[in-house]
Structure 1
Amino acid sequence: MIPHLPDLEARSPWSANNDKPEVKIVPPSSAVDGKIRVPGSKSLTNRALVIAALAKGRSALHGILQSDDSYWCIDALTKLGVPVAVEGETVYIDGCGGKWPNPSGELYVGAAGTVARFLPGALAAGSGAWSLRGSRRMSERPLAPLLGALTHLGAEFEYGGKERCLPFLLRANGLRGGEVTLPGTTSSQFISGLLIAAPYAREPITLHIEGEVVQRDYVRMTLDTMASFGITAEGSADGQTITVPTGRYQARSFPLEPDVSTCGYFWALAALTAGRVRIDGLDAASTTQPDIEILDVLERMGCTVLRGENFVEVQGTGQLKGGFMVSMKKSSDQTLTIAALAPFADGPITLTDAAHIRHHECDRISAICAELSKLGIRVEEHHDGLTVYPGTPVPALLDSHDDHRMAMALSLIGLRVHGIRITDPGCVSKTCPGYFDQLSGLGVGIEY
């Protein structure tokens, strides 16, 4: 089978290893024992960037994630006329107060789902006409519910291809406000995209959510970030109705905690090598990132987890435990991570409630099943997840599917198995350009 070709246009100047066709993972010679810091949360970074750009005054975002997704967000804001300065791990943004300095232009969102879902509402709340386009895969990913809601509130769209997908021309003359409905079952990013823009509507917006919300904790993250910048929404007891008052975000200094989704791969490194990995700068008790649930799964698999006030440490075990089922409803980005751990457990592991990850950078359920099968691992694919059985993986060339999470999860197999190679290592730049360098720093062999 021919590996999936990377969409190199979506790689930013912050990416790495785009010239490397594949990477070989060499198991460490001993148990990993290390302490690291992980870059800022992608989810928090792009929420904070857009909100700070809408705010009045200069904001400072500390601990910025320098990845493809954040680069394209900053690039779009800069093209909109918002001054953005990156100084080390801090980004300074001079917010426009909701009036974009450049009322027209062409914007590119790369493969960043957060940018593609957060930017249209922020633009529609202002005044102007902008063309938006994204990567090949981003142009296939769903946007219809969000764009439909924005149309209901007064935005106008002209589509260059498939209806209610990228690319499109957005004509904006502000949002009316009032009642609007969105589904919760496809992506929480639709809800977040509307909420971020809502304060700038002419009247308060009351959002009604139909159905169970996929990854509701990310909606809470959005609301918390909005509150940090001065806008507090009111929600119903069941969380299905949210009312956002009119107002203006106020600039502030905002810390970005480490990306827990990325932390999961390094904690898994400890689990697979019976080693120890400590990640500094993270408080497991206070984080709003739902992927922190992977710590509960690692404990269930026999690992020891130490949750400190400003760090989280995982100690691996000689034999990982299996024989259980776990819902990935809240922490679906860790589905691939756990699937990569599962062959080394002492019983099968079933992962459920993750149907929506079929619509991410690739169909992640189908893709991970295909790659585990190449390794000789028995796997059963379900509509909303998979079951992975214990086995002894064989050497193989694995396809990253141009998906950062596929590449990082599959790299974990190479911690225990010689001869594991993965295509297109540069795809990890979407969220963690330095991933393979950090693995190398912890004693894992990396050969390009």
Structure 2
Amino acid sequence: MNLKLDQISNIRNTEIQITGSKSETNRLLILQSLYPEIEIENISNSDDSQLMKKALASEIELIDIHHAGTAMRFLTAYFAVNNGRSTVLTGSKRMQERPVKILVEALEQLGCEITYEKDKGYPPIKIIGKHPKTNSVSLAANVSSQYISALMLIASSLPEGLEINLKGKITSVPYIKMTLNLLNDVGIEGTFVDNTIRIPHVKVVSPKLMVVESDWSSASYFYSIVALSEAAMVTIGSYKKESYQGDAALADFYQNLGVQTTFDNHKITLTKIPLPKVTKVIELDLSNSPDIAQTIAVTCFGLGIACYLTGLHTLKIKETDRLVALKVEIEKLGGQVTITEDSLRLATRVSITPDVSIETYNDHRMAMAFAPLALRTSLRIENANVVSKSYPDFWTDLKKLGFKSNEF
């Protein structure tokens, strides 16, 4: 489905309910498979979480997780210690270009048996589940946090627990802390001190109901919409002030982009406020929240503000190379972007080219990050249904705000 978005002058003030965080849901689904005493409410309705549920319930050997990167990493670790089970994990063409070598090598340190079906270091992979031979593993600290979380999630099921030693500077710390917090919440008391994570063996946990907080990454698009509006107030739920999600930093970041956040009874209200007069260049280190980089870059472009975003090295191995994709699509619209391996610099915008067709590269965040620009220009979103990967109701919720779209 391709969508043409008409330019609109402003939005309706309304309330939107966003389903549970994909990141929290997928972690809890792994834990629930290991500890059936756990119940989960407000599960994400994203494609990724539905694929995770299906894979965990499956008894067949070949499991295709399509574009779901989190599922690939978490399930690799999960099946690797499922003694005696043979599993082949595969995915989309892009998934077969996304590396798993560092995680596989870490699991091999434990004595797990994993082989590559095609290219070394990439899916598809064949896993023969084994009992681990050791309770300690080491890996680089500057890798995707999903590798580290994958090991953390299976750690308590191992006979002696697991010690994870991280070498170098750690990136995406909030995602590691999210995993640790969820483990602690279900009764698995792990620790994260300096560069060492220790998680004990736990045979059973007490029955526990886990309510998933709504997704902050999905909230980012409403921050962008309010920022690009002339005047607006949008309430979204359900959120908490002390969030486990690194993307909750949105509340601080967008204060400088003209959005005030008010917390009240598990809901947040986003209100348009004047831009700070001193705002010339927005400089942000997004190493702890890289998934909101696209949203922030497009917001700045729409506002005509220059930005310099760093800490983006993990974006090159996402659904697409997000740095290259951002540069190409923003420059179609008349922007000027410079990228490195881990940064993006956007120059101050002069004008916006109307009716540009935005390619989404099978990346849900490309579609959703660019959609708010309809408050500044008409544009087209190719393969718009890619949003189902994380936020299936996105286009329906935009209609509630007054966005006008037609298929083309």
The answer to whether TM tops 0.5 is yes
Q: 1:175 aligns with which of 125, 132, 151?
A: 132
TM-score using structure 2 length: 0.94
Which residue of structure 2 aligns with residue 101 of structure 1? none
Give the drift of 1:318.
5.7
Distance, in Å, in 2 between the alignment partners of 1:254 and 1:334 is: 25
Q: Which amino acid aligns with 1:423?
A: E
Which residue of structure 2 aligns with residue 437 of structure 1? 396
Q: In the TM superposition, what whole-angstrom CA distance separates every residue of 1:343-386 from its partner, at most 9, and x where no partner exists?
A: 23354111111111111000101100110000111222232121
Which residue of structure 1 aligns with residue 334 of structure 2? 376
**Which secondary structure state, in structure 2, belongs to the residue aligned with residue 313 of structure 1?**
strand
Distance, in Å, in 2 between the alignment partners of 1:25 and 1:317 is: 25
Give the drift of 1:249.
4.8
Which consecutive residues of structure 2, in runs of 5 or more, have no partner in the other structure? none
Structure 2 counterparts to residues 286-297 of structure 1, below 5 A: 286-297=242-253
Which residue of structure 1 aligns with residue 122 of structure 2? 165
Distance, in Å, in 1 between the alignment partners of 2:307 and 2:247 is: 18
- With over 3 angstroms needed to count, the CA separation of the structure-2 counterparts of 1:334 and 1:249, relative to structure 1, is farther
Distance, in Å, in 1 between the alignment partners of 2:233 and 2:176 is: 33
Structure 2 counterparts to residues 360-375 of structure 1, below 5 A: 360-375=318-333
Which residue of structure 2 aligns with residue 424 of structure 1? 383
Q: 2:317 aligns with which of 336, 351, 359?
A: 359
TM-score using structure 1 length: 0.86
Distance, in Å, in 2 between the alignment partners of 1:55 and 1:306 is: 37
Q: 1:205 aligns with which of 151, 162, 166?
A: 162
Q: In the TM superposition, what whole-angstrom CA distance separates every residue of 1:27-66 from its partner, at most 9, and x where no partner exists?
A: 3343431111111100001001111011143x32111111
**Which secondary structure state, in structure 2, belongs to the residue aligned with residue 414 of structure 1?**
helix
Distance, in Å, in 2 between the alignment partners of 1:411 and 1:46 is: 26
Distance, in Å, in 2 between the alignment partners of 1:126 and 1:132 is: 14
Give the drift of 1:197.
0.8
Distance, in Å, in 2 between the alignment partners of 1:178 and 1:185 is: 22
Confirm or deny: 8 A CA contact 1:52 1:249 kept in the other structure.
no
Which residue of structure 2 aligns with residue 316 of structure 1? 272
Distance, in Å, in 2 between the alignment partners of 1:37 and 1:213 is: 33
* 1:410 and 2:370 correspond: yes
Confirm or deny: 8 A CA contact 1:62 1:254 kept in the other structure.
yes
* 1:267 and 2:223 correspond: yes
**Which secondary structure state, in structure 2, belongs to the residue aligned with residue 139 of structure 1?**
helix
Distance, in Å, in 2 between the alignment partners of 1:432 and 1:23 is: 16
Distance, in Å, in 1 between the alignment partners of 2:280 and 2:40 is: 41
How many residue pairs get aligned? The number is: 400
Confirm or deny: 8 A CA contact 1:32 1:275 kept in the other structure.
yes
Q: 1:386 aligns with which of 344, 366, 369?
A: 344
Q: In the TM superposition, what whole-angstrom CA distance separates every residue of 1:7-32 from its partner, at most 9, and x where no partner exists?
A: xxxxxxxxxxxxx1x11112334343
Q: 1:153 aligns with which of 110, 121, 131?
A: 110
Distance, in Å, in 2 between the alignment partners of 1:361 and 1:257 is: 24
Confirm or deny: 8 A CA contact 2:180 2:191 kept in the other structure.
no
Structure 1, 265-274 or 318-327: larger mean CA deviation: 318-327
Q: Which amino acid aligns with 1:263?
A: A
Confirm or deny: 8 A CA contact 2:46 2:390 kept in the other structure.
yes
**Which secondary structure state, in structure 2, belongs to the residue aligned with residue 299 of structure 1?**
helix
Which consecutive residues of structure 1, in runs of 5 or more, have no partner in the other structure? 1-19, 81-103
Confirm or deny: 8 A CA contact 2:21 2:212 kept in the other structure.
yes
Distance, in Å, in 2 between the alignment partners of 1:294 and 1:204 is: 35
Q: 2:143 aligns with which of 175, 180, 186?
A: 186
Confirm or deny: 8 A CA contact 1:198 1:246 kept in the other structure.
yes
Distance, in Å, in 1 between the alignment partners of 2:25 and 2:280 is: 35
Structure 1, 119-128 or 28-37: larger mean CA deviation: 28-37
Give the drift of 1:202.
2.5
Distance, in Å, in 2 between the alignment partners of 1:63 and 1:379 is: 38
* 1:64 and 2:43 correspond: yes
Which residue of structure 1 aligns with residue 357 of structure 2? 397
**Which secondary structure state, in structure 2, belongs to the residue aligned with residue 177 of structure 1?**
coil
Q: 1:77 aligns with which of 47, 51, 56?
A: 56
Which residue of structure 2 aligns with residue 304 of structure 1? 260
- With over 3 angstroms needed to count, the CA separation of the structure-2 counterparts of 1:404 and 1:322, relative to structure 1, is farther
Confirm or deny: 8 A CA contact 2:8 2:374 kept in the other structure.
no
Give the drift of 1:203.
2.1
Give the drift of 1:319.
5.3
Distance, in Å, in 1 between the alignment partners of 2:393 and 2:171 is: 29
**Which secondary structure state, in structure 1, belongs to the residue aligned with residue 202 of structure 2?**
coil
Distance, in Å, in 2 between the alignment partners of 1:185 and 1:249 is: 32
Q: Name the % identity.
A: 28
Distance, in Å, in 2 between the alignment partners of 1:326 and 1:107 is: 39
Which residue of structure 2 aligns with residue 25 of structure 1? 5
Which residue of structure 2 aligns with residue 99 of structure 1? none
Q: 1:326 aligns with which of 284, 290, 302?
A: 284
Q: Which amino acid aligns with 1:247?
A: V
* 1:53 and 2:33 correspond: yes
Give the drift of 1:440.
0.7
Confirm or deny: 8 A CA contact 2:10 2:375 kept in the other structure.
no
Distance, in Å, in 2 between the alignment partners of 1:335 and 1:435 is: 18
Confirm or deny: 8 A CA contact 1:184 1:211 kept in the other structure.
yes
- With over 3 angstroms needed to count, the CA separation of the structure-2 counterparts of 1:421 and 1:318, relative to structure 1, is farther
Q: Which amino acid aligns with 1:334?
A: I
Give the drift of 1:178.
2.2
Which residue of structure 2 aligns with residue 215 of structure 1? 172
* 1:133 and 2:90 correspond: yes
Q: Which amino acid aligns with 1:429?
A: S
